[in-house]
Structure 1
């Protein structure tokens, strides 16, 4: 659900990134309670068109018994030809109002004892920053190893905040940095962190079999490389969690050989306790059919990345073009991404409330 929130601050972070803070009214604090690693979607209208983007929350999460946050803070990096990121860096100012969706996402690390590690690239540090700050503050028996990759030191987001966390917990936070386009005095030699390099590096940093959870976040290439390295090192898939940023350059690859029906068919959907049944137009995704009839259907990126439109397939069959958001156990349990799902059978039924 979206609510209009006032922008409290827009603060430069690097030459091409800012943080945006939103004020949360007292009556909405419970609605915006979030877990470390979750994200929000922001919405604005320009020229009659609606623009939605998803950004991860970067601050420590409120505790289970605490009231929700008074402020929400996200990091936004400028994307080439990006409609919202250009607006955020060049026009957005304190006092403006944006529609903000309540927090969502399953790239979450709840505080508990254990050894954790993350491999992040670029703006992928944002949700992991919240995870590290929350877990180390609330669980004294937890430790974290952060491997981060950035282009240059000047482009590194949250550089000072990560350094502050390292100063606060020097024995429980191990920080390793790599720059792909610049040499640095300390840390790893410059260059990309590919699968071979990570396969050699990670066992030198920490006892890989003892890590309770791996959190991979950033561009598709880095996350894929880290996932392959962990597979080579024998890490169980259940311990690896990932969130992909920046996949526009990757063509959609339909999962399975099933062809979407050409004539449309019927989509049945349950959302917020109400059910409906609508004729689908040829070529439409399940989300597009539902949105024509229920404008409150949840979505953000429409690119198979954020998982906001996750729904359970109750009946029928769909072809999902691509999936960068759902874990294998979720797809096995019948969940699909509505934005990427096209009906294969004449009738498809989904449940957004499941």
Structure 2
């Protein structure tokens, strides 16, 4: 089970007027625990004005850089992101969970693959880690980035991308698309929508030349890009996307297939201990655990980050929303407890699997 660890903030650096890059100091004793794959995320926890706030942020550093960094973009009404951008200082302590997430592919130093990434806004954060790690680990890889933003001023990592271009001139190329600035070339105006992606596939990189495509940004952008890639013939196993909830945004789950107010005898396995409880079938597994005062892992509570993942060992559970688990994980019995409801009279779930 993912646990909280106290980490000291090494530095907080402005990257755009509304984004900071936070570097965490990692003691030797925790370096193994915090080994990460490119594209994974951290859950940061902080008590702000008496409330325990938990937010997931993607790691933006490359694996070979031997440092741990996340980028935090301030969103309107976002308490954690506002705190990070306005008040967080070097030397402060944050409670942090070990890296998690599946937004990556295993790398092979002997491969000669072509990678393409589509990012919008803060969706660049995990993509940045993927680009840096891939180019360092695969000497013959080529990487193309198509990156949409409102304006040049709001573009996260604009200088870092230019540095990477100079470092990997023959293997890394990127294109900026701006929706709120006048540009001389029409091709670069507007959002990364289906029409724009069709143009990219027609003018720059055909779908049959792409070995893996990564997509991260708002839901509508992801749906448009993925749909266009599939329509162009790119197989689903080559398309990887990650959805995220902006702070304060709530996921909309479909209506439950089974609504009932009866009770279930539920057993939760946490750190090797079994906790038995009677819980309403109308209450999500995670909420039932938290109501009992149990120390279970969670972050977004929106079916995205997978922090609250557990495995169903006995009984039946309905998961009403899943934007993070892979199909093979679901087939193996894993659920996101924030979006899962027990439908049997008895159930056993393990957070330790």
TM beyond 0.5 = yes
- The unaligned stretches of length 5 or more in structure 2 are none
In structure 1, C-alpha distance between the alignment counterparts of 2:132 and 2:242, rounded to whole Å: 18
> Shift in Å at residue 164 of structure 1?
0.9
In structure 1, C-alpha distance between the alignment counterparts of 2:176 and 2:288, rounded to whole Å: 45
| Aligned residue in 1 for 2:76 | 80
1:132 and 2:134 correspond: no
> Shift in Å at residue 273 of structure 1?
2.9
1:38 and 2:34 correspond: no
| Aligned residue in 2 for 1:351 | 350
Moved more, 182-191 or 139-148: 182-191
Q: Could you tell me which of 10, 13, 23 is aligned with 2:25? A: 23
> Shift in Å at residue 100 of structure 1?
1.1
In structure 1, C-alpha distance between the alignment counterparts of 2:61 and 2:13, rounded to whole Å: 14
In structure 2, C-alpha distance between the alignment counterparts of 1:172 and 1:46, rounded to whole Å: 44
In structure 2, C-alpha distance between the alignment counterparts of 1:99 and 1:136, rounded to whole Å: 31
| Aligned residue in 2 for 1:51 | 53
- 3-state SS of 1:36 partner: coil
> Shift in Å at residue 231 of structure 1?
1.5
Per-residue CA distance 1:208-240 (angstroms, 9 max, x = gap): 123221111111111111111112112211111
RMSD: 2.1
Per-residue CA distance 1:109-146 (angstroms, 9 max, x = gap): 33222221111111111111111111111211211111
In structure 2, C-alpha distance between the alignment counterparts of 1:306 and 1:235, rounded to whole Å: 26
| Aligned residue in 2 for 1:171 | 170
| Aligned residue in 1 for 2:252 | 252
Map residues 254-273 of structure 1 onto 2, 5 A cutoff. 254=254, 258-273=257-272
Moved more, 292-301 or 243-252: 243-252
> Shift in Å at residue 288 of structure 1?
1.6
Go from structure 1 to structure 2 and tell me whether the alpha carbon gap of 1:200 and 1:335 turns closer, same or farther (over 3 Å shift).
Answer: farther
Go from structure 1 to structure 2 and tell me whether the alpha carbon gap of 1:333 and 1:204 turns closer, same or farther (over 3 Å shift).
Answer: farther
> Shift in Å at residue 17 of structure 1?
0.7
| Aligned residue in 2 for 1:7 | 9
Go from structure 1 to structure 2 and tell me whether the alpha carbon gap of 1:22 and 1:249 turns closer, same or farther (over 3 Å shift).
Answer: closer
> Shift in Å at residue 160 of structure 1?
0.7
| Aligned residue in 2 for 1:305 | 304
- The unaligned stretches of length 5 or more in structure 1 are 64-68
Map residues 200-349 of structure 1 onto 2, 5 A cutoff. 200-246=199-245, 252-254=252-254, 258-281=257-280, 283-293=282-292, 295-349=294-348
| Aligned residue in 2 for 1:66 | none
Q: Is the 8 A contact 2:120 2:192 kept in 1?
A: no
Go from structure 1 to structure 2 and tell me whether the alpha carbon gap of 1:211 and 1:333 turns closer, same or farther (over 3 Å shift).
Answer: farther
Go from structure 1 to structure 2 and tell me whether the alpha carbon gap of 1:205 and 1:270 turns closer, same or farther (over 3 Å shift).
Answer: farther
In structure 2, C-alpha distance between the alignment counterparts of 1:40 and 1:164, rounded to whole Å: 25
Per-residue CA distance 1:295-349 (angstroms, 9 max, x = gap): 3312111111111112222232223232221223332332211111112222232
1:101 and 2:100 correspond: no
Go from structure 1 to structure 2 and tell me whether the alpha carbon gap of 1:250 and 1:92 turns closer, same or farther (over 3 Å shift).
Answer: closer
